[in-house]
């Protein structure tokens, strides 16, 4: 059986997709108001980590691990690491925008 995920995709396309997903996570994070949204965001961030690792974007994957380490969705209380997560997301956004050849 043929799966689209098994097709070789150039690094520049993978990098653009990763950058787009990071941007989406940044926007989503700003709009979180409920714990269920936080858990959904956390799952999406974990999937991004997996894709970054698979693509070999190790520096971005390390930042994604930092992000997930500080993200601990809670049911009845406000997140106590909102600013830390925003800072890591901003760093990921900047790193994704860098020239990978540097």
Structure tokens at 37: 């949204």
The Cα–Cα gap between 74 and 39 comes to 8
Provide the domain limits for residue 52. 10-97
Q: Is residue 1 part of a domain?
A: no
Q: Is residue 102 part of a domain?
A: no
The Cα–Cα gap between 11 and 99 comes to 12
Identify the residue with better confidence: 78 or 64. Answer: 64
Q: Is residue 4 part of a domain?
A: no
pTM of the model: 0.80
Count of the separate structural domains present in the chain: 1
Q: Is residue 61 part of a domain?
A: yes
- Residue 92: name the closest of 8, 33, 31, 29 by CA: 29
Confidence of residue 81 (pLDDT cuts 50, 70, 90): confident
pLDDT digit string, tens, across residues 5-34? 555 567 888 889 999 999 999 999 999 888
């Amino acid at each position: 059986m043929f799966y689209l995920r098994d097709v070789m995709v150039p690094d520049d396309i993978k990098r653009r997709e990763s950058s787009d997903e990071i941007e989406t996570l940044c926007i989503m994070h700003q709009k979180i108001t409920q714990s269920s949204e936080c858990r959904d965001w956390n799952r999406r961030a974990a999937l991004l980590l997996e894709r970054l690792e698979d693509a070999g974007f190790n520096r971005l994957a390390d930042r994604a691990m930092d992000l997930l380490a500080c993200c601990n969705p809670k049911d009845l209380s406000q997140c106590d690491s909102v600013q830390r997560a925003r800072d890591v997301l901003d760093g990921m956004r900047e790193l994704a925008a860098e020239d990978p050849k540097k």
